[in-house]
Structure 1
Amino acid sequence: MKLSSVLAPERIKLGLSGSRKADVIAELCDLAVASGRVHDRDEVLRLFYAREELKSTGIGHGVAIPHAQSDSVEGIVVALGVSRRDIDYDALDHQPVHIVFLIAAESHQSIPYLSLLSRISRLMRKDDLRARLIDAGSPGEALAIIEDEERDW
């Protein structure tokens, strides 16, 4: 599953307002809810926070991928947030985060959900891709950057 196939400009926010993990997750969860495919914001938000209690989803290199599965989600919904300011995320490498991909998935969507997590992790290993996303001037440009990167996959 290509990341660009489940991401849309209306679920991309450049210039996140939050500077802490919980605030950023809530901000991106609201974008997912606005898609109309996340039906219980409070439950899904609670699941994101519970997942963070197990282990931080700040995977390193300035990237975090908060994720949760719930019966109150239809299919898979991805939101992307980018911030030039440091986000205090308690990342595994103890560095601030600048790029956050939030994934909300329907409970029985485990295989595509895990595939998408893996794909984002691999994509975000690329220094130049991370830099281009941080410098993107619009949500449409951010999506085009991802689409361009995925053409060779």
Structure 2
Amino acid sequence: MRLAEVLDEHVVVVGQSWPNFEATIQGLLDVLVQASRLPADSVSITLEQVCQRERQSSTAMLDIGVSIPHVRTDAIDGIACALAVAPRAVYEVAFGLPISIVALVVSSVTLATEHLQFLSSLSLVLQSERCRSELKRASTAAEVLTVLQSFDGQGGALL
């Protein structure tokens, strides 16, 4: 699976901020619904699942300002991802620490291996300081996608 198969301009949000983690996830779930990647009737349960997962173990990498919340659900058949990038913060965690890049990943319950591979690959891309810096400077979804593709394994293959 290639990054471009999961992310496009319809699921990338640039410059938006939310007051907290839950509002961020709600906003990104709404983006997935608007892009026809997630059924509208599954938003409430998916929000609860993501928040519950986050309470068990945070997906925020505070030292680099990245969060990759994720959940496996029977609401979809494949893998969906919504990405938010902001120069300062998409949301702030405790003590005002900024999270500037959030990638919400929603995968089918039947894709356990693919889910983990996608998370691992996405995490590796977002751990690049240069990539994060370029993402935060991007002003459009198209620019974000170009940056990600340039850092995505030199050819776009995530899986």
2:66, 2:99 within 8 Å by CA — same for their partners in 1?
yes
Q: Give the residue type in structure 2 aligned to 1:129.
A: C
TM-score normalised according to structure 2 size: 0.87
Secondary structure at the aligned position of 1:37 is classed as: coil
Q: In 2, are the aligned partners of 1:3 and 1:116 still within 8 Å (CA)? A: no
The percentage of counterpart residues that share the same residue type is: 27
Partner of 2:92: 88
User: In the alignment, which residue of structure 2 is the partner of 1:141?
Assistant: 143
Give the aligned length.
Answer: 151
Residue matched to 2:15: 15
* Deviation for aligned residue 1:151: 5.0
- Work out the CA distance in 1 between the residues paired with 2:94 and 2:80: 24
Q: Say what the alpha-carbon RMSD is for the aligned residues.
A: 1.8
Residue of structure 2 equivalent to 1:42: 44
* Aligned residue in 2 for 1:97: 99
Q: Which amino acid aligns with 2:93?
A: Y
Question: TM-score, normalising length from structure 1?
Answer: 0.90
List structure 1 segments (4+ residues) > 6 angstroms apart after TM superposition: none
User: Residues 20-58 of structure 1, C-alpha deviation per residue, up to 9 Å, x if partnerless?
Assistant: 111111111111122323121111111111111101110
Aligned equivalents of 1:30, 1:22: Cα separation in 2: 12
Match of 1:126 among 120, 125, 128: 128
Out of 113, 116, 128, which is 1:114 matched to?
A: 116
Aligned to 1:71: 74
